[in-house]
Structure 1
Amino acid sequence: MKSFLKLCASLMILMLVAFGARAEEGTVKVGSLAWEDQMAVALPAVKFLQKQGYKVEFVKFSEWGIAFGALQKGDVDVLLSSVDYLTSDYWAKYKNRLEKLSIASYGILQGLVVPSYVQIDSVDQLNGIVDKTGGKIIGIEPGSGLMREVGDAVKAYDLKYQVIDGSTAAMVAQLQSALERKETIVTTLWQPSWMMQKFDVKFLKDPKGVFAPSQAYYWIANKGFAAKNEGIRQSLATVYVPLDDVTQITADMNNGKTIDQAVDAWWEKNQKLVGKWSVMSK
């Protein structure tokens, strides 16, 4: 048994050495969810690391559990996440083994919206327009953090509404139809999103603080990564994509560009900003 434990310990040490060596040699695996806004923040960082001479492999994930699992196993070196609220459960579970490297962007916001012409400004006023909305809040995919918060808001504010699960595409279609007809609708939305740029809507104030406040995108890694890979950490720390730019990238995607085309267009347009990153990372 002791021999077996020693063997396991030796293998673990070799894995950790290999993990650290890979990044130090100039290669890094960058992870992100395959969401438009996440990739709009992550891919400029990938391009910058490549500009700095690193070999980069970009890895996309379908959901947070898989992403955090891959980070734990060393399948990716760094991961873009929003640990304050969006992935707070995973962060709380693994935080003793993880570290924040830097903030990549700031201002993520999600909540309930109505068309700008609707004469209310707060969630606690929604019951006053319930007859005009059919008593429905048009939601997105069930099980998302946003939908959980909507359910909490219905209880906290004693809203006389039914939350309608569905899909993002269905929500967008209903919102667009209501705006064209100048009808009253209550739906879920988030920022950054091309929808906030295209649709004339407003977030409702949340006096009870049910919805998460503005959040940051963080680069996170396994504990000790920054000390072993100072060059990569320093390069990532200089990369900051303003939220309005993230919104523009997602808008370009909605207008027909691929994510790579949208990021490339942004990169070419913002060489002055990228140049500042280069100076700061030296």
Structure 2
Amino acid sequence: MHKLLKVLAVSLMCLFAGFSHAAEKTTIKIGTLPWEDIVPMSIITKKLLEKQGYNVELTTFPDWGIAFAALARGDVDLMVSHINNITADYWKKNYQRLEKVSVVSHGLRQGIVVPDYMPIKSIDELNAIKDQVGAKIIGIESGAGLMQQTADAIKQYNLQYTLVDGSTAAMVAQLQSAIERKAPIVTMLWQPSWMDLKFKVRYLEDPKGVFPAPQSYYWIAKKGFSNDNSRARETVASVFVPIDEVTAMNVSINDGMTVEQAVQKWWDANTKLIDHWAIMSGK
């Protein structure tokens, strides 16, 4: 009788395990935004999930507010975001309905930059060279978070500068022209960006800590995803893409590749790593 009960118990455990496994999603919905850092990480993870047998749907959202609302509702399962700073407010608003899954990259940085041939090294030295650059910091789109951080830096460092808004394209044109002429310029930049590799610039030190420290990118999900989809979670958690490699992909895109072509070029060059990821995720 005792042996029979043990057999029944084991059989029930196997049965419930089978039900649990069957309940896991076979289609994973990934949300993304059309930005040069987020999209490559999303596509690489999509490809790994597909390699592991999942069907993956990729949905692009126009802004973080819509993306976080969709994730919190469960319209998508996963999304990459930098919740420690850039999207901290959205995370705070929605975190009770969300969960962190894993870190997918690290090293996002933003700041005020000058060409590397200029002598200054810190933001608090900017007033000394204001006349050389017309007391202007060349900015990008007015609504960008980096513009707000730079405006805060002007206040906190008592900089005698005007922050000039415009567009990323216009800023790039001015930076490239200045570097070609070895002329002084003060502007802003971020990594990962193709510009970070193309232009030899120096991020100015920030002793007051106005700009955030290098940030991590997290896969985040609707709460309960990891528990309900343990194998998919292990697949996603095995992915880590160094920020320099994301930057290199963006250089390829700027040189004329589509984002899919740039990711495929990276994928083909990293087959051994991808095979290790597949083993780590259980297949």
Task: Give the TM-score of the pair, scaled to structure 1.
Answer: 0.91
Q: Secondary structure at the match of 1:36?
A: coil
1:107 maps to a residue whose letter is G
Cα displacement string for residues 76-123 of structure 1 (whole angstroms, at most 9, x for unaligned residues): 111110000010010111111111000000000001000000000000
Give the match for residue 191 of structure 1. Answer: 191
Q: Secondary structure at the match of 2:99?
A: strand
User: Do residues 119 (structure 1) and 119 (structure 2) align?
Assistant: yes
Give the match for residue 7 of structure 2. Answer: none
Cα displacement string for residues 11-67 of structure 1 (whole angstroms, at most 9, x for unaligned residues): xxxxxxxxx999823100011111011111111101000001000001111210111
Give how far 1:263 is off.
0.3
Aligned length: 263
Structure 1's consecutive aligned runs of 4 or more residues displaced over 3 angstroms after TM superposition are 20-23
1:151 maps to a residue whose letter is A
**How far apart are the structure 2 equivalents of 1:178 and 1:21?**
59
Give the match for residue 275 of structure 1. Answer: 275
Give the match for residue 6 of structure 1. Answer: none
**How far apart are the structure 2 equivalents of 1:65 and 1:163?**
26
Farther-moved stretch of structure 1 (65-74 vs 258-267): 65-74
Report matched runs for 1:132-281 at 5 Å.
Answer: 132-281=132-281
1:66 maps to a residue whose letter is I
**How far apart are the structure 2 equivalents of 1:224 and 1:69?**
16
Structure 1, unmatched stretches of 5+, are 1-19
Instruction: Note if contact 1:22-1:28 (Cα within 8 Å) is conserved in structure 2.
Output: no
2:96 maps to a residue whose letter is N
**How far apart are the structure 2 equivalents of 1:125 and 1:280?**
49
Instruction: Note if contact 2:86-2:145 (Cα within 8 Å) is conserved in structure 1.
Output: yes
> Residues 280 and 178 (structure 1 numbering): CA distance in 2 closer, same or farther, change over 3 Å?
same
Q: Secondary structure at the match of 1:151?
A: helix
2:95 maps to a residue whose letter is K
> Residues 156 and 56 (structure 1 numbering): CA distance in 2 closer, same or farther, change over 3 Å?
same
Give the match for residue 14 of structure 1. Answer: none
**How far apart are the structure 1 equivalents of 2:162 and 2:139?**
10
Give how far 1:151 is off.
0.5
> Residues 207 and 22 (structure 1 numbering): CA distance in 2 closer, same or farther, change over 3 Å?
farther
Instruction: Note if contact 2:106-2:242 (Cα within 8 Å) is conserved in structure 1.
Output: yes
**How far apart are the structure 1 equivalents of 2:23 and 2:198?**
41
**How far apart are the structure 2 equivalents of 1:33 and 1:109?**
18
2:119 maps to a residue whose letter is Q
Q: Secondary structure at the match of 2:37?
A: helix
Q: Secondary structure at the match of 1:114?
A: strand
Cα displacement string for residues 176-210 of structure 1 (whole angstroms, at most 9, x for unaligned residues): 00001111101110001110110011100000000
Cα displacement string for residues 107-141 of structure 1 (whole angstroms, at most 9, x for unaligned residues): 00001000000000000000011000111001111
User: Do residues 43 (structure 1) and 43 (structure 2) align?
Assistant: yes
Q: Secondary structure at the match of 1:248?
A: helix
Structure 2, unmatched stretches of 5+, are 1-19
Q: Secondary structure at the match of 1:170?
A: helix
